[in-house]
């Protein structure tokens, strides 16, 4: 295929299953198209009369493309997406049918969604929540259905999903950022949009081996598994060349994502064997969140077609790196500026420094919220485990930028590496080359040239919560700065004084060194007094502190009741995950592992007995059989202890107490049991061991 045809195919494929802006323009009367555009841009509701026309056009388009159903697609608090499909079917006369889809059906849906977690916001007898069309995210076709992105809330108005708060936080940030732009004399921008590019890590393993492991099938991670002789020590996988089977998978994945209008752009091998990454081009936060959910789903689907299984768990394998999701975040105004670009005139430089200082202050004041946005049972295996940033939040800005803000703090001139000096707000600051800011991979929140990269999130997480929190925190800080400076008679002077104060009070959150080191842990906790919320049960209560409630209520992002509900849902989820993992371990030991060890022991004993009958001393058999007996006994006993502890968990109060019990007691016992099973694995013949080994799982694709 020539490059030209390939390119043509690519642009033909891209977005072909999306009811995009251009499809809309083509298919809708001009005035209707314009109203929808307005709705998209300003977030105002759509006139019902117009909704009918739009729905009909959507249906015709979808049916032409072979769709038979439509579904409201939403993101409940479980963190995955939900859908219920209805056919475009209405019975007509004489047994015929009409294909119909009304504006009402487009705009509002009523899934019987009583089984989604609501954290007590909704009792089952009044269970009906409803879904409301989100016109800012385009409808699309997948698997024969027209998907309509929606928000999900209860009839009493509480939000029950992850999308609504994200949309609210984007609006709030826009309002506050515009106030700052106005202070700098900008009269053209009317909207500031937050943008996100989430880099997604994943593992690909052979489906046939996946199917042989109950732990992977049920929990998404291996609960047992001795270390392979070769792991990631040689560092030969990172950016290594991509094997044919994986490359075929990636090619089809890209194409499927492009069809849905997802800007899949970069793909490469990651650090661990069998680990890979996909990064899209950034887009508006809410679209990026929808797209990331779709990306995860399509990754799994396409893998099955290739006889592979895509693991999105944060820590599928002990001893090799787990998977994260770097969330690149920035803000851009609709007059074309990236607000985190340092700019190339003194005024732009100062505006950039204002946004930068707001972020630094926000991260310092609300570090626990950022930490909790990445809290989950799966991600607890990563944070602070020398492969992901520690559980301590800090900000990396690079040494050049640090020198700039130091000069700002002290009211001195900034001198660059080549000994030129610059007065901030008067001179044009030099470019900060990207590579001076991008080399530190150990910081949880790193400035990378024209955006921040939040690196704590786990691979399976929705990006919505993190982004809702970042947007709201930054909005609060921008609001404070605007409150202080609106009406100032000496703007630049007052601004510089305010920024100097912010830097003085909040620079403790800035750290440019190695975030994985023990010295940092020591310094962060003991000298800088930064919070170190090690596990999920430590982090989640931070959602409902008075400061957090005040912040989210001030901007109408969450009410206190909604925050409490979310905390409850997340704590319960944590306990449930550990409960399922513990039960899976018990099941695997009793039905597979122990019987296998016993059979193998019998073979060893039989061989020994045969040798004895011939008068040969069975030295090896005796020793091995005693070792295996001792190990089996250990496995048997530790499993019984684990079972007792899981049973005892039922008596704990739901919520925090139970989650702490699972962490301190159940999880600790799971580790004990795992250690002895893994030791046993290394002494049992491969012909008997009932589970594919780490080597098989990690190196067979």
State in angstroms the smallest separation of the CB of 282 from ligand ADP.
3
| Range in contact with Mg ion (rule: CB under 5 A) among 326-334, 373-381, 473-481, 562-570 | 326-334
Burial annotation 408-418 (CB, 10 A radius, 16+ → b, else e): bbeeeebeeee
Residue 279 site contact among Mg ion, ligand ADP, none (CB < 5 to 8 Å, cut-off depends on kind)? ligand ADP
State in angstroms the smallest separation of the CB of 326 from Mg ion.
5
State in angstroms the smallest separation of the CB of 520 from ligand ADP.
21
| Range in contact with Mg ion (rule: CB under 5 A) among 126-134, 205-213, 318-326, 349-357 | 318-326
Residue closest to 323 by CA, chosen among 242, 211, 221, 212: 221
Burial annotation 312-329 (CB, 10 A radius, 16+ → b, else e): bbbbbbbebbbbbbbbbb
195 forms part of the interface with ligand ADP (CB under 6 A): yes
| Range in contact with ligand ADP (rule: CB under 6 A) among 88-96, 177-185, 277-285, 641-649 | 277-285
State in angstroms the smallest separation of the CB of 417 from Mg ion.
25
Q: Which two tokens stand for residue 472?
A: 């709201």
| Range in contact with ligand ADP (rule: CB under 6 A) among 190-198, 421-429, 507-515, 639-647 | 190-198
Q: What's the CA gap between 641 and 22, in Å, rounded?
A: 62
Q: Specify the residue, 287 or 375, whose C-beta has the smaller distance to ligand ADP.
A: 287
| Range in contact with ligand ADP (rule: CB under 6 A) among 146-154, 189-197, 411-419, 483-491 | 189-197
Helix (H) / strand (E) element for 99: namely strand 97-99
How many of the chain's residues bind ligand ADP (CB under 6 A)? 15
Q: What are phi and psi of 499, to 5 degrees?
A: -65, -40
State in angstroms the smallest separation of the CB of 434 from Mg ion.
12
520 forms part of the interface with ligand ADP (CB under 6 A): no
Helix (H) / strand (E) element for 333: namely strand 325-333
State in angstroms the smallest separation of the CB of 524 from ligand ADP.
24
| Range in contact with ligand ADP (rule: CB under 6 A) among 34-42, 196-204, 237-245, 486-494 | 196-204
Residues 588 and 214 sit within 8 Å (Cβ to Cβ): yes
Residues 155 and 110 sit within 8 Å (Cβ to Cβ): no
Residue closest to 221 by CA, chosen among 635, 688, 667, 684: 667
State in angstroms the smallest separation of the CB of 329 from ligand ADP.
6
Which of residues 74, 209, 249, 282 is near ligand ADP by CB under 6 A? 282
Residue closest to 302 by CA, chosen among 482, 449, 142: 142
Which of residues 326, 361, 371, 496 is near Mg ion by CB under 5 A? 326
Q: Specify the residue, 50 or 296, whose C-beta has the smaller distance to ligand ADP.
A: 296
Q: What's the CA gap between 347 and 516, in Å, rounded?
A: 37
470 forms part of the interface with ligand ADP (CB under 6 A): no
Q: Specify the residue, 35 or 333, whose C-beta has the smaller distance to ligand ADP.
A: 333
Residues 357 and 499 sit within 8 Å (Cβ to Cβ): yes
Q: What's the CA gap between 166 and 261, in Å, rounded?
A: 21
State in angstroms the smallest separation of the CB of 441 from ligand ADP.
9
Which of residues 330, 354, 437, 680 is near ligand ADP by CB under 6 A? 330
Q: Specify the residue, 259 or 325, whose C-beta has the smaller distance to ligand ADP.
A: 325
Q: Specify the residue, 463 or 585, whose C-beta has the smaller distance to Mg ion.
A: 463
Residues 46 and 135 sit within 8 Å (Cβ to Cβ): yes
| Range in contact with ligand ADP (rule: CB under 6 A) among 20-28, 212-220, 280-288, 365-373 | 280-288
279 forms part of the interface with ligand ADP (CB under 6 A): yes
State in angstroms the smallest separation of the CB of 195 from ligand ADP.
4
State in angstroms the smallest separation of the CB of 267 from Mg ion.
13
338 forms part of the interface with ligand ADP (CB under 6 A): yes
Q: Which two tokens stand for residue 606?
A: 């039989």
Q: What are phi and psi of 327, to 5 degrees?
A: -105, 105
Q: What's the CA gap between 276 and 313, in Å, rounded?
A: 13
Q: What's the CA gap between 652 and 404, in Å, rounded?
A: 53
What 8-state DSSP symbol labels residue 540? G
Q: What's the CA gap between 698 and 701, in Å, rounded?
A: 8
The per-residue DSSP string of 615-645 comes to T---HHHHHHHHHHHHHHHHHHHHHHHHHHH
Q: What's the CA gap between 582 and 645, in Å, rounded?
A: 10
Q: Specify the residue, 446 or 502, whose C-beta has the smaller distance to ligand ADP.
A: 446
Which residues within the stretch 199-228 sit at the binding site for ligand ADP (CB under 6 A)? Answer: 199
Per-residue interface string for the shown chain with ligand ADP, residues 365-404, x marking contact by CB under 6 A: ----------------------------------------
Per-residue interface string for the shown chain with ligand ADP, residues 145-184, x marking contact by CB under 6 A: ----------------------------------------
State in angstroms the smallest separation of the CB of 324 from ligand ADP.
12
Extract long-range pairs of 250-255: CB within 8 Å, 24+ residues apart: 250/276, 250/278, 252/302, 252/305, 252/306, 253/278, 253/298, 253/299, 253/302, 255/13
State in angstroms the smallest separation of the CB of 471 from Mg ion.
20
451 forms part of the interface with Mg ion (CB under 5 A): no
Residues 186 and 99 sit within 8 Å (Cβ to Cβ): no
Residues 324 and 313 sit within 8 Å (Cβ to Cβ): no
State in angstroms the smallest separation of the CB of 34 from ligand ADP.
29
Helix (H) / strand (E) element for 410: namely helix 399-410
The closest residue (CB) to Mg ion is 326
Q: Specify the residue, 474 or 570, whose C-beta has the smaller distance to ligand ADP.
A: 474
196 forms part of the interface with ligand ADP (CB under 6 A): yes
Per-residue interface string for the shown chain with ligand ADP, residues 309-328, x marking contact by CB under 6 A: -------------------x
SS3 693: coil
Q: What's the CA gap between 434 and 665, in Å, rounded?
A: 46
Q: What's the CA gap between 366 and 358, in Å, rounded?
A: 12
Residue closest to 364 by CA, chosen among 534, 549, 530: 530
Q: What's the CA gap between 385 and 397, in Å, rounded?
A: 23
Which residues within the stretch 408-467 sit at the binding site for ligand ADP (CB under 6 A)? Answer: 438, 450-451
Residue 329 site contact among Mg ion, ligand ADP, none (CB < 5 to 8 Å, cut-off depends on kind)? ligand ADP
Count of CB atoms situated within 10 Å of the CB of 47: 14
State in angstroms the smallest separation of the CB of 374 from ligand ADP.
17
State in angstroms the smallest separation of the CB of 94 from ligand ADP.
55
Residues that bind ligand ADP (CB under 6 A): 195-197, 199, 279-282, 328-330, 338, 438, 450-451
Residues that bind Mg ion (CB under 5 A): 326
């Amino acid at each position: 295929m020539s490059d030209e045809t390939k390119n043509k195919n690519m642009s033909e494929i891209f977005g072909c299953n999306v009811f995009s802006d251009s499809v809309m323009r083509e298919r809708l009367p001009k005035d209707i198209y314009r109203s929808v555009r307005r709705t998209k841009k300003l977030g105002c509701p759509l006139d019902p009369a117009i909704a009918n026309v739009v729905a009909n056009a959507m249906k015709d388009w979808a049916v032409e493309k072979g769709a038979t159903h439509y579904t409201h697609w939403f993101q409940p608090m479980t963190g995955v997406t939900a859908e219920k499909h209805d056919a475009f079917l209405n019975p007509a006369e004489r047994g015929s049918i009409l294909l119909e889809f009304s504006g009402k059906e487009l705009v509002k849906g009523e899934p019987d969604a009583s089984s989604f977690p609501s954290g007590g916001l909704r009792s089952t007898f009044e269970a009906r929540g409803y879904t409301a069309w989100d016109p800012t995210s385009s409808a699309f076709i997948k698997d024969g259905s027209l998907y309509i992105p929606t928000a999900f809330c209860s009839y009493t108005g509480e939000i029950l999903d992850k999308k609504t708060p994200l949309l609210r936080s984007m609006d709030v940030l826009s309002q506050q950022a515009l106030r700052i732009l106005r202070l700098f004399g900008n009269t053209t921008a009317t909207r500031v949009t937050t943008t996100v590019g989430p880099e997604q890590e994943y593992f690909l393993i052979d489906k046939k081996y996946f199917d042989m492991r109950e732990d992977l099938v049920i929990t998404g991670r291996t609960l047992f598994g001795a270390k392979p002789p070769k792991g990631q020590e040689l560092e030969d996988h990172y950016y290594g060349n991509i094997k044919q089977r994986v490359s075929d998978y990636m090619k089809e994945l890209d194409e499927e994502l492009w069809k849905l209008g997802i800007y899949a752009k970069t793909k490469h091998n990651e650090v661990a064997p069998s680990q890979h990454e996909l990064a899209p081009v950034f887009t508006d936060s809410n679209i990026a969140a929808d797209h990331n959910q779709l990306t995860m789903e399509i990754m799994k689907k396409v893998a099955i077609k290739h006889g592979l299984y895509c693991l999105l768990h944060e820590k599928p394998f002990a001893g090799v790196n787990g998977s994260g999701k770097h969330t690149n975040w920035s803000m851009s105004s609709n007059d074309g500026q990236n607000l985190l670009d340092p700019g190339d005139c003194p005024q732009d430089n100062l505006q950039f420094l204002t946004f930068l200082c707001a972020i630094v202050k926000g991260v310092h004041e609300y570090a626990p919220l950022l930490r909790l946005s990445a809290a989950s049972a799966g991600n607890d295996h990563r944070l602070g485990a020398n492969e992901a940033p520690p559980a301590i939040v800090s900000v990396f800005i690079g040494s050049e930028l640090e020198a700039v803000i130091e000069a700002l703090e002290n009211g001195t001139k900034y001198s660059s590496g080549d000994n030129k000096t610059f007065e901030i707000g008067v001179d044009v600051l030099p470019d900060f080359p990207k590579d001076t800011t991008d080399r530190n991979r150990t910081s949880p929140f790193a400035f990378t040239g024209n955006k921040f990269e939040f690196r704590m999130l786990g691979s399976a997480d929705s990006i919505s919560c993190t982004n809702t929190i970042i947007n709201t925190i930054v909005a609060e800080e921008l609001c404070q700065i605007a409150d202080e400076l609106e009406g100032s008679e000496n703007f630049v002077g007052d601004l510089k004084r305010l920024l100097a104060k912010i830097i003085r009070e909040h620079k403790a959150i800035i750290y440019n060194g190695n975030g994985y080191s023990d010295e940092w842990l020591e310094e962060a906790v003991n000298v800088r007094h930064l919070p170190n919320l090690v596990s999920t049960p430590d982090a989640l209560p931070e959602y409902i502190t008075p400061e957090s409630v005040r912040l989210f209520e001030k901007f109408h992002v969450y009410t206190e009741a909604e925050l409490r509900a979310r905390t409850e849902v997340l704590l319960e989820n944590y306990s449930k995950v550990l409960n399922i993992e513990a039960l899976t371990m018990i099941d695997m030991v009793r039905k597979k592992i122990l019987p296998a060890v016993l059979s193998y022991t019998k073979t060893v004993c039989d061989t020994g007995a045969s040798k004895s009958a011939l008068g040969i001393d069975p030295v090896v058999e005796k020793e091995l059989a005693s070792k295996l007996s001792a190990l089996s006994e250990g496995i048997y006993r530790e499993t019984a202890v684990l079972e007792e502890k899981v049973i005892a968990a039922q008596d704990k109060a739901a919520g925090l107490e139970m989650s702490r019990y699972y962490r301190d007691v159940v999880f600790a016992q799971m580790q004990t049991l795992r250690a002895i099973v893994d030791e046993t694995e290394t002494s049992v013949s491969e012909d008997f061991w009932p589970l594919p080994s780490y080597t098989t799982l990690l190196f067979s694709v």
